[in-house]
A and B are shown apart, each in its own frame.
Chain A
Amino acid sequence: MPKIIFEGEEYQCEPGESVLDCLLRQGVSVNYSCKAGVCQTCMMVAEEGEPTPASQVGIKETLKASQHFLICSCQPQTDMRVAIPERVGSSFETTVLAKEPLSADVIRLRLARPDNYDYLPGQFLNLTNDAGVTRSYSLASLPQEDEFLECHIRHIPGGRVSGWVAEKLQLGDTVTISQASGQCSYLPGREEQPLLLVGTGTGLAPLFGIARDALQQGHRGPIHLYHGSSTPEGLYLVDELRAMDEAHENFHYHSCVSRGEAPAGMRSGRAADLALEDHPQLSGWRVFLCGREDMVKGLQKKTFLAGAGMQDIFADPFIDSSASGEDQTAA
């Protein structure tokens, strides 16, 4: 009979037993509710061993791809090492390859991609500073194309990690990062489907990765990317995105300025409002939302009510790391 390894301990399965029953029988306390493969309360990640197909029915495609499964519905066929999703993660040492401003307060940080470092564009990594403080930053690079990992870091005055990146970090320095995680990514399939991408501030980083990934994987449906900021100076990668708009018939870039009159080539209004005005009917669309938590949560509800399926909405709210507002972090 297979055994389950969870938080460093081994648990022997009995015939016909699910991973959940095996852990419960041996006194392990784990979250669960319906025990029928529906409520997804008991979701875990298989770090070793294969989840059974039955244990991945009904969960999001991006979660399937990253070995998430429901332990109540998995009768293991092989030994498995399992973990609670938030506790997954090994760390990597890497070096700083480039650091340059993208706008007045956004820094492009490029790190060497460690060997065997797998990720999907749009996922995020945790970056740890010299004092051991960690923040999450989304990946804007493409694994199949870029040899580096790229993050866009908003320099927040007093930010413990962003301040360290801005003021102390030098080219060639060694830094510690986590493996990439997160579910806000493009997966191939349904390449005629229209895509709606809306981001504010450095919410552009994952969207920039996702849009390029979709194009590179041959997505044929229209891709609309809305990037919003209060002022024109807050928008960045404008030239690159305009060039992508020129180069790809199905890629449409909308730069949105919420305060005051927008300069030529940009639009006046909030990115979320303009996206919904342009596309009031989202039935059949795939939606990616990244940036300020209030924008992302609000638009998640609005795009769902406008017809997008819950399985097709990928939301990545950036949570403020502290009450004082220092360092925004992807989550």
Chain B
Amino acid sequence: MSEALYDRLGGEAAVNAAVDIFYRKVLADDRVNEFFDGVDMEKQAAKQKAFLTMAFGGPNSYTGEDMRKGHAHLVERGLNDTHVDVIIELLGGTLKELGVADDLIGEVAAIAESVRDDVLGR
């Protein structure tokens, strides 16, 4: 491939366009929204943005260790593969809504998939 995924998606502007749509989908989805009860919404939105930036192939310096630490309290509360599936599904739905082509959505899903084991502490 010639251009990086992040640039093909539209860079930071694409993340900005996606973050509210994605976060709204997450909060409205009863399969996963219990994990977001009582969190500070502004801080959470910034974290969602960091996650999307990473999944879009953009600049980030997250390590597997960061992912483990950041989600350990959720794993204790029962976070498992089905929840990760939902998040990847909602991510795909967000991109579809923004008119992103299926092959690019596939690349984003693959990046999100690559952190699954770290997120779930395996």
Contacts and interface: CB of A to CB of B under 8 A. Distances in A.
B46 interface: yes
A301 interface: yes
Most buried by B among A34, A36, A37, A58: A34
Interface string B35-57: 00000011101110110010000
Interface stretch (B60-68, B88-96, B98-106, B112-120): B60-68
Contact of A38 (B20, B27, B41, B49): B49
Interface in B10-31: 12, 15-16, 19-20, 23-24, 27-28
A315 B42 CA distance: 10
A35 B61 contact: yes
Contact of A36 (B23, B45, B53): B53
Contact of B24 (A37, A58, A305): A305
Interface of B: 12, 15-16, 19-20, 23-24, 27-28, 41-43, 45-47, 49-50, 53, 58-62, 66
12 contacts: A33-B66, A34-B53, A34-B60, A36-B61, A38-B53, A39-B49, A40-B43, A57-B12, A301-B41, A304-B20, A310-B19, A315-B42
Interface in A26-63: 33-41, 57-58
A43 to B, nearest CB: 9
Main SS class of interface, A: loop
A309 interface: yes
B47 A310 contact: no
A300 interface: yes
Nearest to A34: B50
A300 B23 CA distance: 13
A305 B28 contact: yes
Contacts of A36: 50, 53, 58-61
A37 B19 CA distance: 15
A58 B28 contact: no
B23 A310 contact: yes
Given A36-B61, A301-B27, A304-B27, A310 B41 contact: yes
Contacts of A301: 27, 41
Nearest to B59: A36
A301 to B, nearest CB: 7
A244 B15 CA distance: 40
Contact of B20 (A33, A37, A309): A309
Most buried by A among B45, B46, B47: B46
Contacts of A313: 41
A300 B27 CA distance: 12
A293 to B, nearest CB: 11
Contacts of B23: 304, 310
Contacts of B45: 310
A300 to B, nearest CB: 6
Contacts of A305: 24, 27-28
Most buried by B among A38, A304, A309: A38
Interface in A116-140: none
A34 B41 contact: no
B24 A304 contact: yes
A40 B41 contact: no
Contacts of A34: 50, 53, 60-62
